[in-house]
Amino acid sequence: MDRPGASPGVSFAVSVDFDTVHVDDVSRHYGRRRALAHVTLQAQQGEILGLFGPNGAGKSTLISILSTLLRPSGGGVRYGAHTVAETGDALRGQIGVLGHDLYLYGDLTARENLRFFGRLYGLDRLEARVTDALARARLSDRADDRAGSFSRGLRQRLAFERALLHDPRLVLLDEPFTGLDDDSAQVLIERLGTLRDAGHIVVMATHDFDTAEAVVNRSLCVDRGRAWPVADGAGTLRERYRRTLAERV
Amino acid sequence: MGFLNTVWTIARKDLVIEARSRELAYTTLFFSVSVVLVFSFSFVVEGVALTDAAAGILWVSIAFAGTLALGRTFERERQSDTLKALLLSPVERPAIYIGKLVGVLLLMLVVEAVVTPVVGLLFQAPLDRAPLLLVGLLVTGTLGFAGVGTLFAAMLIRAQSRDVLLPVLLYPITVPLVIAGVRGTAAIFAAEPNLAVAQAWLSMLVFFDAVFLTLALWVFGPVMGE
């Protein structure tokens, strides 16, 4: 298997890598409320899959299931030939998540945050990776400032690099453009393009059609727990998404 | 990453954050010393403390301060959902539990290192009578209390009324621990000390710790999985 996006610095007892993610008929209920219903999709390496949909449609639930944080009520997820039940800890080493909450400790500096998570992932060349990540987040000059003192945009940039520090195969992004100014959004788009070219699998939930259009390969419309491909054809991503949603309703 | 390395990485992170803010140390210390001070006005009459009062008040202040520390420690993990980030990392879930437990335990032991001499001073408790046994009782009792508390605090992190639910769940389950701690300490502080009884209560605490920690390690992963 071609492994351009694999994690050379992460070692596990069980070696886990994959080039596709299959979501097979996944449903998820919270009590009597249905968050996802029979969702089936596939994402492969070198692809950025966009998830679009209204608030509460089930996008974040799907990302939580893909990240292994949440178990589906029905159906299953396969990461290549692997499942969470077989390779839990090692599999998580190949997944990077940028959540809506940023998973940063406000009382630690930017450098300490990256160093802490790097240690948890057992990364080699940690200091070099941290320095590179800070440079990519354009935070080298504020590396020793507390993350809690950063604006939302700066924290978003730091959190994005934290999610990628271990060079994961599967990158899950929930609203990655939140709080970013134009320049930062452009840098993020370029970075996503680099990830795609390096063979990562990127799944991204966002409401920012205009920004995402520049980078996604494939788009899904998620509404009331169900997912459909966004219609092909003429028009912008936003227009095609609205058309898909209207047809389904 | 090895189990112990993960434990130390997580515990050290908590200690660095606490050393920087000193929020928990000051709050729990102030609270527990205040409790001891207030009780001393009720239970020390003309310079003489009521029988067994010192042991009870010491453990009450430890339990209350511990609850305060547990709630606040996990509030820090909740603020930016960092507990999720820990659960997403490729480390064994029990190592996350033990790492959080070590952080809380060390903080509680620091509080006890201050509060115990204060109790000794205000209640004329003979701390030097069997110091190793007393330390054993305090450490094992605190370990059990923090062990159960860490599990519940982690479970309740997403609950809206977690501040109310934590003591409601924690105190009934840790009552045997606190009773063992009180009786063991009282046996040391008594006018006619009975160190054999104190040792028996210490053994009981070791047994409680083994049971509680085994159960907590067993259920932490599955419980945090949802």
CATH of the domain at A192: 3.40.50.300
What is the count of structural domains for chain B? 1
Q: Which amino acid is at A222?
A: V
Residues A120, B92: C-beta atoms closer than 8 Å? no
Q: Is the pLDDT of residue B113 over 60?
A: yes
Minimum distance, in Å, between the CA of residue B86 and any CA atom of chain A: 8
Instruction: Please list, in sequence order, all residues whose beta carbon lies within 8 angstroms of the beta carbon of residue B100, skipping any fewer than 6 positions away.
Output: B10, B11, B14, B73, B74, B77, B150, B154
> Looking at chain B, which residue has its C-alpha nearest residue A112?
B13
* Residues of B in Cβ contact (< 8 Å) with A12: 90
Reported as type and span, the H/E element at residue B106 is helix B93-123
Say whether A107 sits in a helix, a strand or coil: coil
pLDDT band per the 50, 70, 90 thresholds, residue B226: low
Residue B81 has pLDDT above 70, yes or no: yes
User: What band does B44 get if pLDDT is binned at 50, 70 and 90?
Assistant: confident
pLDDT value at B11 more than 90 = yes
Q: Does A89 contact B80 at a Cβ distance shorter than 8 Å?
A: no
pLDDT attached to residue A2: 40
Number of Cβ pairs < 8 A linking chain A and chain B:
75
If residue B147 lies in a helix (H) or strand (E), which one and from where to where?
helix B131-155
The chain-wide mean pLDDT, for chain B, equals 92
- Total count of residues recorded for chain A: 249
Contact residues of B toward A, CB < 8 A:
1, 5-6, 9-10, 13, 16-17, 20-21, 76, 79-82, 84-92, 225-226
Nearest residue on chain B to A163, alpha-carbon basis: B85
Cβ–Cβ below 8 Å for A105 and B80: yes
Q: Which amino acid is at A71?
A: R
Q: Do B85 and A117 touch (CB under 8 A)?
A: yes
A134 touches B at CB < 8 Å: no
Identify the segments of chain A with pLDDT beneath 70. Answer: 1-15, 249
- CA B70 – CA B77 distance, rounded (Å): 11
| 8 Å CB contact of A108 and B89 | no
* Three-state DSSP class for residue A240: helix
Q: How many domains is chain A built from?
A: 1
- Does A51 fall in a domain? yes
Q: Which pLDDT belongs to residue A36? A: 93
Q: What is the pLDDT of residue A15?
A: 65
Antiparallel, parallel or unpaired: β A170-174 and A95-98: parallel
Decide if A116 contacts B91 (C-beta within 8 A). no
- Which residues does residue A110 pair with via DSSP β-bridges, in sequence order? none
Nearest to A92 among B16, B76, B89 (CB): B89
Euclidean distance between CA atoms B224 and B219, whole angstroms? 8
ipTM associated with this complex: 0.88
pLDDT at B203: 97
Q: What does the pLDDT read at residue B204?
A: 96
Residue keyed to tokens 């990776």: A129
* Mean pLDDT value across residues B184-207: 95
SS3 (DSSP) at A98? strand
Instruction: Evaluate whether residue A7 is within a structural domain.
Output: no
Q: Is the residue at A11 inside a domain? A: no
Asked if the structure places residue A12 within a domain, the reply is no
Mean pLDDT of B159-188: 92
Question: For residue A108, what are the domain limits?
Answer: 20-248
Listing DSSP states for A145-205 in one string gives SBGGGS-HHHHHHHHHHHHHTT--SEEEEESTTTT--HHHHHHHHHHHHHHHHTT-EEEEE
Whether A110 has its CB under 8 Å from any CB of chain B: the answer is no
Q: Is the pLDDT of residue B84 over 80?
A: yes
Q: Which residue range forms the structural domain that includes residue B168? A: 3-224
Q: What is the pLDDT of residue B157?
A: 86
Phi-psi region of B65 (alpha: psi -120 to 50; beta: other; left: phi over 0): alpha
Of A67, A105, A120, the CB nearest to B91: A120
Of residues A113, A100, A68, the one with CA closest to residue A87: A68
The residue type found at B79 is Q
Confidence (pLDDT) at A13:
47
Q: Which are the contacts of B117, defined by CB distance < 8 A and separation ≥ 6?
A: B127
CA atoms of A169 and A12, how far apart (whole Å): 15
